[in-house]
Amino acid sequence: MRGVALTPRVRWSCPNCDCRSTSREARPHSQMHTCPGLGGILAPLVPEGMRCKVEAIEREDAVGSEQGIRFDEHGRAIMAVRTMRDDGYDTAVFAPSATMTRDEAEDSGLARVLRERMRRIQEAVNRGR
């Protein structure tokens, strides 16, 4: 008796460009691509035929010295990409990160808080052994 492949094939497309893809994965998953239709921002593909709108959401607050800010080809800071479907929406958020020096962390008390949290995590790990 021969085995039967039960892994579904999903065809993906983008409503904003010509990108197409196919995946074979049994678990829930998504496909991302750098979308020329959205100014080069990382955006999800959607199952082919799905009625939806995929749009980049521009960051509205001031851009500082955070790391990981994504800019589109027009120089706009993009904070998320939203997929609007008939039954709801999904949002992929591009969260930047703040940075500080070790001295700033020590002076603000943040370093002490983080050391205490790491100590508690290590204790929990050791109890689990």
Residue holding tokens 């500080």? 100
79 vs 81, beta carbon nearer Zn ion: 81
By CB under 5 A, tell whether 35 contacts Zn ion: yes
By CB under 5 A, tell whether 42 contacts Zn ion: no
| Tokens, residue 22 | 């196919």
Task: Point out which span in 10-18, 71-79, 112-120, 121-129 binds Zn ion (CB under 5 A).
Answer: 10-18
By CB under 5 A, tell whether 56 contacts Zn ion: no
In the chain, the amino acid numbered 49 is G
CA dist 127 → 100, 102, 114 (Å): 33, 30, 20
CA dist 98 → 60, 68, 86, 117 (Å): 17, 9, 36, 19
x-or-dash pattern for Zn ion, window 60-99, by CB under 5 A?
Answer: ----------------------------------------
Q: Where are the beta strands (DSSP E) in 25-64?
A: 32-35, 41-44, 46-47, 52-58
Residue from 10, 37, 57, 76 binding Zn ion (CB under 5 A): 37
Nearest distance, CB of residue 29 and Zn ion, angstroms: 17
Contact residues: Zn ion, CB under 5 A? 14, 16-17, 19, 35, 37
